[in-house]
Structure 1
Amino acid sequence: MVGPARTRGHAPAVRRATTLVLSALTAVLLALVPWSGTAFAHGSVVDPASRNYGCWDRWGDDFQNPAMADEDPMCWQAWQADPNAMWNWNGLYRNGSAGDFQAVVPDGQLCSGGRAESGRYNALDTVGAWQTSDITDDFTVKLYDQASHGADYFLVYVTRQGFDPATQALTWGDLQQVARTESYAPSQNYEIPVSTSGLSGRHVVYTIWQASHMDQTYFLCSDVDFG
């Protein structure tokens, strides 16, 4: 009688202890998940892929594979610098720019949004041969907005002919504006048609997304090749 009675008396305590341990583990796991749920979701250009979205898309399931160092060295250095730049591919933004983008994003820091988010995205400014998306003179920028922020407008730039993103840091003077949109109603998918001419080889497509829910601006570099 004593044994079973002791077991019954301790069972609730054991269950409570187990619950506390599981709750603690769950809290730790949630803290390790950089973005979970739409409350923390924002967005990025997915085609042609922004630098960090592309690295996440290609390597997110295999980000510790040492083959990346040879196959995709620019992504490799970005993963080594701060993996959260890829896990948080949707969070490269600044608040309160008031439309004066060149004042808050210095030359050489365009792809990190002026070292946004305490420098999380700094590796995206690293000069080198980032993997490119093949495009033609007429192409479409596709942006995925997880949180359906909407847009006051989009600005799309392409680097001038002669600029080499594999050897030169990106500056505002290297960009030529090729599109400015009107506002977009809140949605999760936006498409911005772009027309260019006379461009060939490697370029950077630079997209500025001014979200409409607040003064929140996204600065997004996509590496492309005009055939």
Structure 2
Amino acid sequence: MQWHIPAKPVTARIAALLAAAMLFLIPWTDTAAAHGSIVDPASRNYSCFDRWGSDHLNPDMAQEDPMCWQAWQDNPNAMWNWNGLYRENVGGNHQGAIPDGTLCSGGNTEGGRYDSLDAVGPWHTTDVGSDFTVELYDQASHGADYFQVYVTEEGFDPSTQPLTWGDLELVEETGAYPPAQNISFDVSAPGRSGHHVVFTIWQASHLDQSYYLCSDVNFG
């Protein structure tokens, strides 16, 4: 179990992108009420925000990054609010609350704001090995009751198949973490190659508030 002081490169990048977002006058959640997300391997909406937040009107995104393009077109607030994909009062019954095919949106969270994250296709991936580190950035320092990390089983193809609970293997369940902006922990998911989805459940400590976060990875 470990927790970390804020990582300057991550926070500096986020601050720069948030400043860029203001220039475009698109509505997004006030950082005073902000929450967090998995930033490495990056969750789908954080990844789209990180790479395109300061250039989200660039038409080249349609060819260079089609999954982020469809997400930006569907609902830009899914990216501006990359830190707000959560549900409340689930009571630990995650599979009961989140239907198959809607895991990456947290089960149609926020009136469908994040539905584009469930889209099937060639999402941008982060290269990882069998052993890798999951990093949370939490602006509000909520802490965690626990994290549960699932990885899709070998043979699953995120570019053609919707994500279901039956496609996932639980590879890590942590204990509690005290409040901090940066939390990281190691996971192991051997026997995989190519494009997979890392599905992280972050149970925040301050309320019964559960975050559901899909990160696309490439096992080398």
Q: Which amino acid aligns with 2:132?
A: F
Name the counterpart of 1:36. 30
* Partner SS state of residue 167, structure 1: coil
Deviations 1:126-181 (A, max 9, x none): 00000000000110000001100110000000000000000000000000001000
1:129-168 → structure 2 map (5 Å cutoff)? 129-168=122-161
Quote the Cα distance in structure 2 between the aligned partners of 1:130 and 1:36: 27
**How high is the TM-score relative to the length of structure 1?**
0.85
Quote the Cα distance in structure 1 between the aligned partners of 2:31 and 2:85: 17
Give the Å deviation of 1:76. 0.1
Deviations 1:33-67 (A, max 9, x none): 412232x1100000000000000000000001000
Quote the Cα distance in structure 2 between the aligned partners of 1:152 and 1:91: 18
1:224 equivalent in alignment to 2:217? yes
More helix as a share of residues:
1
Deviations 1:64-96 (A, max 9, x none): 100000000000000000000000000000001
Higher relative contact order (CA closer than 8 Å, sequence separation 6+): 2
Q: Which amino acid aligns with 1:210?
A: Q
Give the Å deviation of 1:32. 5.2
* Partner SS state of residue 123, structure 1: helix
Q: Which amino acid aligns with 1:208?
A: I
Quote the Cα distance in structure 2 between the aligned partners of 1:37 and 1:80: 23
* Partner SS state of residue 191, structure 1: strand
5+ long unaligned stretches in structure 2: 1-22
Query: Percent identity among equivalent residues?
Result: 65
Quote the Cα distance in structure 2 between the aligned partners of 1:192 and 1:173: 24
Give the Å deviation of 1:207. 0.2
Quote the Cα distance in structure 2 between the aligned partners of 1:182 and 1:172: 22
Q: Which amino acid aligns with 2:28?
A: P
Name the counterpart of 1:62. 55
Select between 89-98 and 195-204 the one with higher mean Cα deviation. Answer: 195-204
Q: Which amino acid aligns with 2:130?
A: D
1:193 equivalent in alignment to 2:170? no
Runs of 4+ in 1 over 2 A off after TM superposition: 35-38
Among candidates 72, 76, 84, match of residue 77 of structure 2: 84
Quote the Cα distance in structure 2 between the aligned partners of 1:153 and 1:63: 34
Give the Å deviation of 1:192. 1.7
| Change over 3 Å in CA distance of 1:62–1:97 after alignment to 2 | same
Quote the Cα distance in structure 2 between the aligned partners of 1:153 and 1:82: 30
